Amino acid sequence: METYLVGGAVRDRLLGLPPGDNDWVVVGQTPEGMEAAGFRPVGRDFPVFLHPDTGEEHALARTERKSAPGYRGFTVHADPSVTLEQDLERRDFTINAIAQGADGRLVDPFGGAADIEKRVLRHVSPAFVEDPLRVLRAARFMARFAPLGFTVAPETMQLMREIAASGELDALVPERTWQELCKALRAARPSAFLRTLRDAQALKAVLPEVDALYGIPQRPEYHPEVDTGIHQELVSDMAATLAPGDDVAGFAALTHDLGKALTPRSKWPRHIGHEQAGLKPLEALCERLRVPNSHRGLARIACREHLNVHRLFELRDATVHDLLERCDAFRRPERIAPLALVCEADRRGRLGFEDADYPQGPELRRVHAAAMAVNARDLVTDGMSGPQVGRALRQARIEAIARARSPRPSQ
């Protein structure tokens, strides 16, 4: 039995990145032999085992053959005759097709180490086109590695376009698409995910609501980048900067302006009412990808309220209270900080505004905290009915907001 460290663990070490989980491939062994050695089987679609001491995943070397449409349409073959090189050949990108032996020696039959040096994401073999999920994986890897200077090899991009043109992306199950999207939103540069999919002519199939934003003009005095799709890229990257690894805020940032794609051409470059208009495509996206409620909730209020937050210093005290109430901020106080962050990302996600101040963020958190400090139990409500108590609580919270508000900042 020969055991090799493989995949991302080797790649990230060569890139000098912090180590993640270790994955191992085992050559020359059977499932029965693994269990006899104390490994616990966990693989559903192919033989994967957990080490009895470390709990790390060990997979038997295997080959895969395309047998049906979609990313699940593969027949897996794993037995002691499968070589390490055969196992590496089935992998997606050369940078992921490197193994390391116990003695530290690299097994790199497809030039992955050289591609790491050249900062190139390149497919291993023509079999790349057999798995449509690899288009999303390429885009997700670019979201992570574009800051390091990585680009997609032209020949790999051509294969991605062939996959997109084949219609195979329609076979991706929502959960896998969502999983890859979340990983991209947690990465340093989500815009590279969007741009890679767009270059591959795949964004329209994966995120049609976002793809529709490209080419939609905005008022240049507010948006020097003009194109709404470019604005969206900048906002997503700013959200990743302000809240690294936060895919909940990242999803809300990604979807906050979907309504601009629905503005009639005759109204361009203004987008009056795009906040409410964006709720319908947002719900369609959430339903299609089965987006969790935690992500939906923040995305809805960010889509609907981001302009109100931008105008926070102009709003009356009662209007600020009602904004908080619409966000369900008194029952779900944890929503306000990420809402403020997404709105800041929207403000700073514009050419030339990257370092702009956003006093509305701390102001929103401050007035929310003041309103939250008011408790119905502290009010004199003797003899009041339920609706009267509600009105008294609202008034007390409005007064607390008024006391907490800061002067409107000078322009």
CB-count exposure of residue 39 (10 Å: 0-12, 13-18, 19+): buried
* Buried residues in 284-299 as b, exposed as e (16+ CB within 10 A): ebbeebebeeebbbbb
Task: Give the pLDDT score at 391.
Answer: 86
Task: Give the pLDDT score at 69.
Answer: 58
**Phi and psi, residue 260, nearest 5°:** -65, -25
Task: Give the pLDDT score at 217.
Answer: 98
What is the side-by-side strand order in the sheet with 2-6?
40-41, 48-50, 57-60, 23-27, 2-6, 99-100, 106-107
- Spell out the domain ranges in the chain: 1-112, 207-411
Contact 231, 223 (CB under 8 A): yes
- Can you give the pTM of this predicted structure? 0.92
**Phi and psi, residue 53, nearest 5°:** -105, -50
**Euclidean distance between CA atoms 224 and 222, whole angstroms:** 6
Contact 247, 360 (CB under 8 A): no
- CATH number for the region 1-112 comes to 3.30.460.10
- pLDDT per residue, tens digit, the chain (411 aa), is 799 999 899 999 999 998 888 999 999 999 999 999 999 999 777 789 999 999 999 999 998 775 555 555 556 778 899 999 999 999 999 999 999 999 999 999 999 999 999 999 999 999 999 999 999 999 999 999 999 999 999 999 999 999 999 999 998 999 999 999 999 999 999 999 999 999 999 999 999 999 999 999 999 999 999 999 999 999 999 999 999 999 999 999 999 999 999 999 999 999 999 999 999 999 999 999 999 999 999 999 999 999 999 999 999 999 999 999 999 999 999 999 999 999 999 999 999 999 999 999 999 999 999 999 998 777 766 556 667 778 888 999 999 999 999 988 876
Task: Give the pLDDT score at 390.
Answer: 81
Pairing relation of β-strands 40-41 and 57-60? unpaired
Taking alpha carbons only, the member of 64, 77, 78, 81 closest to residue 28 is 81
